[in-house]
Structure 1
């Protein structure tokens, strides 16, 4: 393909996409740090909670894998974009999907942590 016919992503558009990607990454990193901190605190409560902490860790890893895969898929889709309109559409869809996914993940993680805390608080018989 000649230099003249090659599609270039405008600098402002690239900056906006990078900023949104960074924002999503920071939100997820904060979520993971919180989940790991909670798992560490809960794990100190004994054998009953170790199973809950293990579930929390496994779920966090699952979320991380899912979100990394979504990011890679998004980056690959941008490489195949034909024009600025398609890039804007892909970006909007990606951001909306990731925000929805992060909200669902936070809710699920909250339920898992709550369940683990309730199990830890049960009196030993």
Structure 2
């Protein structure tokens, strides 16, 4: 089952986030054995982030090995928002972006802002 939420809005970024002002869309697919298996969540809006690849896949432990039936979709979305504000470059899905995040954060931030302007506004 795939859920489409036609109208869900919220400010989720810190004012200094490179994603501030962007509108990012996600798909959420609930497997038939949900909540015993995690939902499949992916970005459909392109985003420059070390933990999200070009297919929109998200590297987040609670969507894989750390899933628990006690987790709610609200908690999943909150964790994704937290990941956007505080990337985890030590467990990247895109190593090149993680490397830039660690070695030249201003260039990472500039590129993330450019992608946000180009793809999410």
- TM-score above 0.5: no
Q: Which has the larger radius of gyration?
A: 1
Greater relative CO (CA pairs within 8 A, separation 6+): 1
Bigger proportion of residues as strand: 2
TM-score calculated relative to the size of structure 1: 0.29
TM-score calculated relative to the size of structure 2: 0.29
Bigger proportion of residues as helix: 1
